[in-house]
Amino acid sequence: MHRYEMISDKDRIAVGLSGGKDSLALMWILKERQSRVPINYELFAIYIDPGFEMGFTEPLKTYCTQNRFKLIVEHTDYGIISHSSENRENPCFLCSRLRRKRLFEIADGLGCNKLALGHNKDDIIETLFLNMCYAGEISTMVPSQSFFQGKLTVIRPLAFADENIISRFAGEKRFPAFVNPCPSAKVSKREEIKNLLGQLYSSNKKIKGNIFRAMSNVNTDYLLK
């Protein structure tokens, strides 16, 4: 957060809450941090309900109330649309795009100048490989990125945190386990990449760190032009 100057005094920060361990950890950390830093900022948790049956909106509301999180819930049919016969491409891509667009709109309506997302180091590496394999470009998510002529900045405070560390933290804090009702949760392209990378990591413990460092150590003289 300090390296990228993610949070400043009087910021209004929307936090994308998915119900997963990463976003719950992010919200907990940002809330806890409020009491001990010399700046003032506001937090607004936002959950975009994708519309699947057996969702967890009500338990999530209860959890947020118990922990004094300001939660805004947006009920949508984005998940249903993305998995319909009309969308024959990647359902995850469309659902993600629709949810992100709505997050931007809600954040703007709340007067927020920051949107915090719970992507971690593993997510950033996986996105690099997803874009190379399925989009034909070398790109990924970045820790801090400005949108709409600087009106809104997306921040990812967990960008340098390994997924296994966050999982351990979530266990220590006894975060509730909300079951993702999405039918693509375990069969997505991201899951395929995660499994592929898992095999690489198991063969050499230095590979993950090397890939992550490589994204800020690009030698453009040895890329095709």
Domain containing 200 — which CATH number?
Answer: 3.40.50.620
Spatial distance between the Cα atoms of 89 and 69, rounded to a whole number of angstroms: 36
Q: Does residue 200 fall inside a structural domain?
A: yes
Q: Does residue 78 fall inside a structural domain?
A: yes
For residues 101-111, average pLDDT = 97
Confidence of residue 186 (pLDDT cuts 50, 70, 90): confident
Q: Does residue 225 fall inside a structural domain?
A: no
User: What is the count of structural domains for the chain?
Assistant: 1
Give the E-state strand segments of 54-94 in sequence order: 71-75
Radius of gyration over every alpha carbon of the chain, rounded to an integer in angstroms: 18
State how beta strands 114-116 and 11-16 pair. parallel
Q: Does residue 223 fall inside a structural domain?
A: no
Q: Which residues neighbour 176 within 8 Å (Cβ) at sequence distance 6 or greater?
A: 24, 59, 63
| The pLDDT value given to residue 88 | 64
Q: What distance, in Å, lies between the first and last C-alpha atoms of the chain?
A: 34
Q: Does residue 168 fall inside a structural domain?
A: yes
From the list 47, 45, 16, the residue with the least C-alpha distance to 31 is 45
Confidence of residue 218 (pLDDT cuts 50, 70, 90): very high
Q: Does residue 222 fall inside a structural domain?
A: no
Question: Based on the number of CB atoms within 10 Å of its own CB, is 154 exposed (0-12), middle (13-18) or buried (19 or more)?
Answer: buried
Residue 156 contacts residue 127 (beta carbons within 8 Å): no
Q: Does residue 155 fall inside a structural domain?
A: yes
Residue carrying structure tokens 């969308």? 87
Residue 116 contacts residue 16 (beta carbons within 8 Å): yes
Q: What is the pTM of this model?
A: 0.94
Spatial distance between the Cα atoms of 120 and 49, rounded to a whole number of angstroms: 22
Percent of the chain's residues with pLDDT above 90: 88
Strand pairing partners for 72?
46
Domain carrying residue 128: 11-216
For residues 81-86, average pLDDT = 86
| The pLDDT value given to residue 100 | 95
Q: Which two tokens stand for residue 6?
A: 């993610």
Q: If you count them, how many residues does the chain have? A: 225
pLDDT mean across residues, the chain: 94
Residue 87 has pLDDT above 80, yes or no: no
For residues 218-225, average pLDDT = 93
Q: Does residue 1 fall inside a structural domain?
A: no
Q: Cα torsion at 180, 194, 225, 145 (round to 10°)?
A: 40
Q: What is the pLDDT of residues 23-72, one digit of tens each?
A: 999 999 999 999 899 999 999 999 999 999 989 999 999 999 999 999 99
Spatial distance between the Cα atoms of 156 and 124, rounded to a whole number of angstroms: 10
